Amino acid sequence: MVFAVPVFAQPGAFLRTGNMIAQRSLHTATLLPDGRVLLTGGTNGRTTLASAEIYDPATGSFRATGSMSKPRSRHSAVLLPDGRVLIVGHDGPGFEVYDPATGTFSRAPVGSYQPWGSNAAMLPDGRVLIFGDNADIYDPRTGTADWLGSLGIRKGFFWESTATVLPDGKFAVSALDGVSLFDPRGGSVRLVEKHDLGAYAATVTRLATGRVFIAGGYEDQGYFAFTKTQALLYDPRSGIRPSVKNMFISRGNHSATLLTDGRVFISGGVVEETSASGLVGEAELFDPTTETFVRGAFELEGRWDHTATLLQDGRVLLAGGYANSTSSLYIPETRAAVRVNDFETLRDGV
Protein backbone atom coordinates (compact mmCIF):
# COMPACT_ATOMS: atom_id res chain seq x y z
CA MET A 1 0.00 0.00 0.00
CA VAL A 2 1.42 3.38 -1.00
CA PHE A 3 0.86 6.26 1.39
CA ALA A 4 2.21 9.78 1.80
CA VAL A 5 2.39 11.61 5.10
CA PRO A 6 3.91 15.11 5.46
CA VAL A 7 7.04 14.90 7.59
CA PHE A 8 6.85 18.50 8.77
CA ALA A 9 4.41 21.29 9.51
CA GLN A 10 6.94 23.79 10.84
CA PRO A 11 9.32 25.66 8.51
CA GLY A 12 11.62 23.11 6.91
CA ALA A 13 12.59 19.60 7.91
CA PHE A 14 15.59 17.49 8.87
CA LEU A 15 16.44 14.26 7.08
CA ARG A 16 19.21 11.88 8.09
CA THR A 17 22.01 11.31 5.62
CA GLY A 18 25.18 9.21 5.82
CA ASN A 19 27.44 9.18 8.87
CA MET A 20 30.92 10.64 8.82
CA ILE A 21 33.86 8.27 8.99
CA ALA A 22 35.07 9.91 12.22
CA GLN A 23 33.45 11.77 15.08
CA ARG A 24 34.28 15.43 14.59
CA SER A 25 33.68 18.71 16.38
CA LEU A 26 35.52 22.01 16.00
CA HIS A 27 36.28 20.93 12.42
CA THR A 28 35.81 22.75 9.11
CA ALA A 29 33.42 22.10 6.23
CA THR A 30 33.99 23.76 2.85
CA LEU A 31 31.74 23.60 -0.22
CA LEU A 32 33.87 22.71 -3.24
CA PRO A 33 33.14 24.02 -6.76
CA ASP A 34 31.82 20.61 -7.85
CA GLY A 35 29.19 20.57 -5.07
CA ARG A 36 30.96 18.17 -2.70
CA VAL A 37 31.97 19.19 0.83
CA LEU A 38 35.46 18.89 2.33
CA LEU A 39 35.58 18.26 6.10
CA THR A 40 38.93 18.57 7.86
CA GLY A 41 40.38 17.94 11.29
CA GLY A 42 38.56 18.65 14.52
CA THR A 43 38.47 16.51 17.62
CA ASN A 44 36.71 13.25 18.42
CA GLY A 45 36.52 14.14 22.11
CA ARG A 46 39.77 12.33 22.91
CA THR A 47 42.33 13.50 20.38
CA THR A 48 42.79 16.11 17.66
CA LEU A 49 42.49 14.80 14.10
CA ALA A 50 44.61 15.24 10.97
CA SER A 51 42.24 13.23 8.79
CA ALA A 52 39.77 14.63 6.26
CA GLU A 53 36.76 13.33 4.37
CA ILE A 54 34.49 14.28 1.49
CA TYR A 55 30.68 14.37 1.50
CA ASP A 56 28.95 13.76 -1.83
CA PRO A 57 25.35 15.07 -1.92
CA ALA A 58 24.60 12.86 -4.93
CA THR A 59 25.11 9.69 -2.88
CA GLY A 60 24.55 11.03 0.63
CA SER A 61 27.77 9.41 1.78
CA PHE A 62 31.22 10.29 3.11
CA ARG A 63 34.56 8.92 1.93
CA ALA A 64 38.10 9.40 3.17
CA THR A 65 40.51 11.70 1.37
CA GLY A 66 44.11 12.72 2.07
CA SER A 67 45.18 13.77 5.57
CA MET A 68 46.66 17.07 6.69
CA SER A 69 50.30 17.27 7.71
CA LYS A 70 49.35 17.65 11.38
CA PRO A 71 46.25 17.46 13.60
CA ARG A 72 44.16 20.64 13.74
CA SER A 73 41.03 21.82 15.52
CA ARG A 74 39.47 25.27 15.92
CA HIS A 75 41.16 26.02 12.63
CA SER A 76 39.81 27.64 9.44
CA ALA A 77 39.41 26.62 5.82
CA VAL A 78 39.06 29.13 2.97
CA LEU A 79 38.09 28.30 -0.62
CA LEU A 80 40.62 29.94 -2.94
CA PRO A 81 39.67 31.36 -6.36
CA ASP A 82 41.36 28.42 -8.12
CA GLY A 83 39.16 25.86 -6.31
CA ARG A 84 41.75 24.70 -3.79
CA VAL A 85 41.20 25.06 -0.04
CA LEU A 86 43.60 26.91 2.28
CA ILE A 87 43.88 25.47 5.82
CA VAL A 88 44.97 27.85 8.60
CA GLY A 89 45.64 27.35 12.39
CA HIS A 90 45.13 26.39 15.16
CA ASP A 91 48.19 24.73 16.68
CA GLY A 92 51.00 27.07 15.68
CA PRO A 93 52.02 28.53 12.33
CA GLY A 94 52.00 26.76 9.00
CA PHE A 95 49.44 26.65 6.21
CA GLU A 96 48.49 23.86 3.86
CA VAL A 97 46.37 23.58 0.74
CA TYR A 98 43.95 20.85 -0.31
CA ASP A 99 43.70 20.11 -4.03
CA PRO A 100 40.35 18.47 -4.95
CA ALA A 101 41.84 17.23 -8.24
CA THR A 102 44.39 15.03 -6.47
CA GLY A 103 42.69 14.59 -3.08
CA THR A 104 45.88 15.56 -1.28
CA PHE A 105 47.19 18.26 1.06
CA SER A 106 50.49 20.08 0.55
CA ARG A 107 52.31 22.74 2.52
CA ALA A 108 51.45 26.26 1.35
CA PRO A 109 54.40 28.57 0.77
CA VAL A 110 54.84 31.18 3.49
CA GLY A 111 57.60 33.75 3.73
CA SER A 112 59.76 34.48 6.73
CA TYR A 113 56.79 35.80 8.71
CA GLN A 114 54.23 33.11 9.63
CA PRO A 115 50.90 34.15 11.20
CA TRP A 116 49.55 32.27 14.23
CA GLY A 117 45.86 33.19 13.90
CA SER A 118 43.16 30.55 13.72
CA ASN A 119 40.39 32.48 11.98
CA ALA A 120 40.53 33.18 8.26
CA ALA A 121 38.29 34.78 5.63
CA MET A 122 38.64 35.71 1.99
CA LEU A 123 38.95 39.44 1.22
CA PRO A 124 37.43 40.97 -1.92
CA ASP A 125 40.88 41.34 -3.55
CA GLY A 126 41.69 37.60 -3.31
CA ARG A 127 43.97 37.84 -0.28
CA VAL A 128 43.15 36.06 2.98
CA LEU A 129 42.59 37.80 6.29
CA ILE A 130 43.94 35.80 9.26
CA PHE A 131 43.30 36.87 12.81
CA GLY A 132 43.54 35.83 16.42
CA ASP A 133 45.12 38.23 18.89
CA ASN A 134 46.62 39.92 15.82
CA ALA A 135 45.52 40.50 12.24
CA ASP A 136 47.57 39.34 9.25
CA ILE A 137 47.15 39.28 5.50
CA TYR A 138 48.21 36.24 3.44
CA ASP A 139 48.50 36.43 -0.33
CA PRO A 140 48.15 32.93 -1.85
CA ARG A 141 49.46 34.22 -5.18
CA THR A 142 52.84 35.22 -3.76
CA GLY A 143 52.94 32.96 -0.70
CA THR A 144 53.75 35.84 1.63
CA ALA A 145 52.13 37.14 4.80
CA ASP A 146 52.22 40.57 6.44
CA TRP A 147 51.41 41.59 10.01
CA LEU A 148 48.76 44.31 10.25
CA GLY A 149 48.61 44.86 14.01
CA SER A 150 46.91 43.81 17.22
CA LEU A 151 43.13 43.56 17.41
CA GLY A 152 42.98 44.05 21.16
CA ILE A 153 40.50 41.19 21.59
CA ARG A 154 40.30 40.10 25.21
CA LYS A 155 43.21 37.70 25.62
CA GLY A 156 42.39 34.05 26.26
CA PHE A 157 39.19 34.06 24.23
CA PHE A 158 40.40 34.84 20.71
CA TRP A 159 39.71 31.25 19.64
CA GLU A 160 36.02 31.73 20.48
CA SER A 161 35.73 34.94 18.45
CA THR A 162 33.82 34.89 15.19
CA ALA A 163 33.95 37.24 12.22
CA THR A 164 32.77 38.00 8.72
CA VAL A 165 34.14 40.20 5.95
CA LEU A 166 31.99 43.00 4.53
CA PRO A 167 31.79 43.81 0.81
CA ASP A 168 34.06 46.85 1.29
CA GLY A 169 36.83 44.77 2.91
CA LYS A 170 36.18 45.73 6.55
CA PHE A 171 35.48 42.89 8.98
CA ALA A 172 33.27 42.55 12.04
CA VAL A 173 34.35 40.46 15.05
CA SER A 174 32.22 39.28 17.97
CA ALA A 175 34.22 38.29 21.06
CA LEU A 176 33.97 38.29 24.84
CA ASP A 177 34.48 42.04 25.08
CA GLY A 178 31.96 43.06 22.40
CA VAL A 179 31.53 43.56 18.68
CA SER A 180 34.30 45.41 16.84
CA LEU A 181 34.58 46.64 13.28
CA PHE A 182 38.09 46.74 11.79
CA ASP A 183 39.51 48.12 8.57
CA PRO A 184 42.54 46.09 7.33
CA ARG A 185 43.20 48.23 4.29
CA GLY A 186 46.28 50.40 3.90
CA GLY A 187 48.83 48.02 5.40
CA SER A 188 47.57 48.16 8.99
CA VAL A 189 44.45 47.25 10.94
CA ARG A 190 42.33 50.08 12.30
CA LEU A 191 39.48 49.88 14.80
CA VAL A 192 36.52 51.67 13.22
CA GLU A 193 33.95 51.20 15.99
CA LYS A 194 33.28 48.99 19.00
CA HIS A 195 30.16 48.02 20.93
CA ASP A 196 29.77 46.20 24.24
CA LEU A 197 26.79 44.14 23.05
CA GLY A 198 28.68 41.21 21.55
CA ALA A 199 29.44 37.76 22.93
CA TYR A 200 31.89 34.93 22.35
CA ALA A 201 30.88 31.71 20.54
CA ALA A 202 28.20 33.76 18.78
CA THR A 203 27.52 33.50 15.05
CA VAL A 204 28.38 36.35 12.67
CA THR A 205 26.64 36.15 9.29
CA ARG A 206 26.83 38.53 6.34
CA LEU A 207 23.37 39.00 4.87
CA ALA A 208 22.53 39.36 1.19
CA THR A 209 22.02 43.11 1.71
CA GLY A 210 25.56 43.59 3.07
CA ARG A 211 24.38 43.95 6.67
CA VAL A 212 25.79 41.67 9.38
CA PHE A 213 23.65 39.49 11.66
CA ILE A 214 25.10 38.49 15.07
CA ALA A 215 23.23 35.95 17.18
CA GLY A 216 23.55 34.31 20.58
CA GLY A 217 26.80 33.40 22.26
CA TYR A 218 27.93 33.60 25.88
CA GLU A 219 28.26 36.51 28.25
CA ASP A 220 30.69 36.37 31.16
CA GLN A 221 29.06 36.24 34.60
CA GLY A 222 32.10 35.86 36.80
CA TYR A 223 32.54 32.15 37.45
CA PHE A 224 29.75 31.33 34.98
CA ALA A 225 29.01 32.01 31.32
CA PHE A 226 25.37 32.11 30.26
CA THR A 227 24.01 31.89 26.73
CA LYS A 228 22.08 34.77 25.19
CA THR A 229 18.99 35.18 23.02
CA GLN A 230 20.44 38.45 21.77
CA ALA A 231 20.30 39.27 18.06
CA LEU A 232 22.18 42.24 16.62
CA LEU A 233 22.37 43.88 13.21
CA TYR A 234 25.26 45.89 11.84
CA ASP A 235 24.58 48.24 8.95
CA PRO A 236 27.62 49.94 7.39
CA ARG A 237 25.54 53.12 7.02
CA SER A 238 24.10 53.34 10.53
CA GLY A 239 26.22 51.11 12.80
CA ILE A 240 25.16 48.33 15.14
CA ARG A 241 21.85 47.97 16.97
CA PRO A 242 19.66 45.25 18.50
CA SER A 243 17.27 43.43 16.18
CA VAL A 244 13.53 44.04 16.55
CA LYS A 245 13.19 40.56 18.10
CA ASN A 246 15.54 38.19 19.89
CA MET A 247 15.83 34.44 19.37
CA PHE A 248 13.30 32.16 21.04
CA ILE A 249 16.09 30.10 22.64
CA SER A 250 19.39 31.28 24.06
CA ARG A 251 22.29 29.35 22.54
CA GLY A 252 26.04 29.34 22.00
CA ASN A 253 28.37 27.13 19.92
CA HIS A 254 25.54 26.92 17.38
CA SER A 255 25.54 27.52 13.61
CA ALA A 256 23.92 30.18 11.42
CA THR A 257 23.62 29.65 7.66
CA LEU A 258 22.45 32.14 5.05
CA LEU A 259 19.82 30.43 2.90
CA THR A 260 19.22 31.11 -0.79
CA ASP A 261 16.08 33.15 -0.01
CA GLY A 262 18.00 35.54 2.27
CA ARG A 263 16.85 34.16 5.61
CA VAL A 264 19.26 32.78 8.23
CA PHE A 265 18.91 29.19 9.45
CA ILE A 266 20.03 28.79 13.10
CA SER A 267 20.57 25.31 14.47
CA GLY A 268 22.03 23.35 17.35
CA GLY A 269 24.20 24.73 20.09
CA VAL A 270 24.07 24.68 23.86
CA VAL A 271 21.76 26.51 26.24
CA GLU A 272 23.26 27.54 29.58
CA GLU A 273 20.88 29.40 31.86
CA THR A 274 20.17 29.43 35.58
CA SER A 275 17.03 27.37 34.97
CA ALA A 276 18.12 25.07 32.13
CA SER A 277 21.15 23.66 30.36
CA GLY A 278 21.75 21.15 27.59
CA LEU A 279 21.74 20.70 23.82
CA VAL A 280 19.30 22.65 21.66
CA GLY A 281 17.35 20.53 19.18
CA GLU A 282 14.96 23.17 17.86
CA ALA A 283 16.03 25.32 14.90
CA GLU A 284 15.00 28.91 14.23
CA LEU A 285 14.78 31.05 11.11
CA PHE A 286 15.60 34.76 11.06
CA ASP A 287 13.95 36.97 8.43
CA PRO A 288 16.04 40.12 7.80
CA THR A 289 13.14 41.94 6.15
CA THR A 290 11.01 41.84 9.32
CA GLU A 291 13.87 41.29 11.81
CA THR A 292 11.86 38.52 13.43
CA PHE A 293 12.32 34.82 14.16
CA VAL A 294 10.06 31.83 13.54
CA ARG A 295 10.42 28.48 15.24
CA GLY A 296 11.85 25.77 13.04
CA ALA A 297 11.91 22.01 12.90
CA PHE A 298 13.46 19.75 15.55
CA GLU A 299 16.56 17.70 14.84
CA LEU A 300 16.61 14.43 16.72
CA GLU A 301 20.39 14.60 17.08
CA GLY A 302 21.47 17.55 19.24
CA ARG A 303 24.69 19.18 18.06
CA TRP A 304 27.20 21.76 19.20
CA ASP A 305 30.51 22.84 17.71
CA HIS A 306 29.26 21.27 14.47
CA THR A 307 29.34 22.61 10.90
CA ALA A 308 26.43 23.74 8.72
CA THR A 309 27.14 24.06 4.98
CA LEU A 310 24.79 25.43 2.33
CA LEU A 311 24.76 23.01 -0.60
CA GLN A 312 24.29 24.00 -4.23
CA ASP A 313 20.67 22.81 -4.26
CA GLY A 314 19.69 24.97 -1.25
CA ARG A 315 19.80 22.23 1.38
CA VAL A 316 22.06 22.54 4.43
CA LEU A 317 24.43 19.79 5.55
CA LEU A 318 24.83 19.61 9.34
CA ALA A 319 27.79 17.44 10.25
CA GLY A 320 29.21 16.19 13.52
CA GLY A 321 29.39 18.03 16.79
CA TYR A 322 30.89 17.00 20.09
CA ALA A 323 31.42 13.18 20.15
CA ASN A 324 29.17 12.89 17.11
CA SER A 325 29.68 11.31 13.69
CA THR A 326 26.11 11.71 12.42
CA SER A 327 24.94 14.17 9.80
CA SER A 328 21.60 15.57 8.69
CA LEU A 329 20.20 17.54 5.79
CA TYR A 330 17.98 20.52 6.46
CA ILE A 331 15.42 21.10 3.71
CA PRO A 332 13.77 24.55 3.70
CA GLU A 333 9.98 24.57 3.44
CA THR A 334 10.12 25.42 -0.26
CA ARG A 335 10.44 21.66 -0.73
CA ALA A 336 8.24 19.06 0.92
CA ALA A 337 9.30 15.76 2.45
CA VAL A 338 6.91 12.83 2.32
CA ARG A 339 7.16 9.19 3.34
CA VAL A 340 6.25 6.72 0.64
CA ASN A 341 6.38 2.98 1.39
CA ASP A 342 8.60 3.80 4.40
CA PHE A 343 11.16 5.55 2.18
CA GLU A 344 11.63 9.30 2.48
CA THR A 345 11.60 11.14 -0.83
CA LEU A 346 11.43 14.79 -1.79
CA ARG A 347 9.15 16.66 -4.11
CA ASP A 348 8.98 20.35 -5.02
CA GLY A 349 6.37 22.56 -3.38
CA VAL A 350 4.46 22.46 -0.13
CB of 197 closer than 8 Å to CB of 241: no
CA terminus-to-terminus distance, the chain: 23
Along the 350 residues of the chain, how does pLDDT read in single tens digits?
333 333 444 579 999 999 999 999 999 999 999 999 999 999 999 999 999 999 999 999 999 999 999 999 989 999 999 999 999 987 656 789 999 999 999 998 876 566 666 788 998 889 998 887 788 889 998 888 888 888 877 644 545 677 888 888 888 888 777 788 888 888 888 888 777 766 788 899 999 998 999 999 888 765 567 899 999 998 878 888 888 899 999 999 999 999 999 999 999 999 987 666 789 999 999 999 999 999 999 997 889 999 999 999 999 999 999 999 999 999 997 544 443 333 333 333 33
d(CA 115, CA 121): 14
Identity of residue 94: G
Domains contained in the chain, CATH given: 1-18+201-350 (2.130.10.80)
CB of 286 closer than 8 Å to CB of 261: no
As a 3-state breakdown, the chain gives helix, strand, coil percent values, each rounded to 5, of 0, 45, 50
CB of 324 closer than 8 Å to CB of 23: yes
Tell me the residue ranges of DSSP E strands in 21-95: 28-31, 37-40, 52-56, 61-65, 76-79, 85-88
